[in-house]
Amino acid sequence: MKIFMTGYSNLPEKEFIENLKQNGITMVIDIRERPYSRFQKWTSIKKLPDILYKHGIKYRWMGGSLGGSLFWKEGDECGLFKETEQKVFLGLEKVVDCAREETVCLMCACGDFDRCHRSVIATFLISDFGTDVYDIDKTGAAQKVSLT
């Protein structure tokens, strides 16, 4: 099973959609705690679901169970907090469930994969759920994530 990820960073709407299409994405799962952006207004939860829908892509917000503050990362070490571990794992299970029927892409704002909590999510998806994870870069190329 393949799960994609991406960070829209400063990409214009059109290129972002293009990158999703290029990789056959059928569902975007938003993992931002706050699904709004002052600079990238099109990424707001008030706009993005409609934009995606027009391109035949579904939208789901999961920032409540997969948001950045639920993970910690220090250098190469990363993990979950005891108190919210269960919530996060339920979130990850939902992602895997969705990926059985859809080509899923987890979306955050951060351009840099290594500094974003999606790198921690990728670690769990690979080690605990046995999925393959790919991060879509600015150019639309999908880079396979490997655990080091």
- Which positions lie near Zn ion, rule CB under 5 A? 108, 110, 116
53 or 64: whose CB is closer to Zn ion? Answer: 64
99 or 122: whose CB is closer to Zn ion? Answer: 122
Instruction: Note whether 13 and 51 are within 8 A (CB).
Output: yes
Rounded least distance, CB 127 to Zn ion, Å: 20
78 or 110: whose CB is closer to Zn ion? Answer: 110
Rounded least distance, CB 132 to Zn ion, Å: 20
Rounded least distance, CB 122 to Zn ion, Å: 12
For 110, list phi and psi in degrees, rounded to 5: -65, 130
Instruction: Note whether 137 and 4 are within 8 A (CB).
Output: no
Instruction: Note whether 18 and 26 are within 8 A (CB).
Output: no
N-terminal to C-terminal alpha carbon distance within the chain: 20
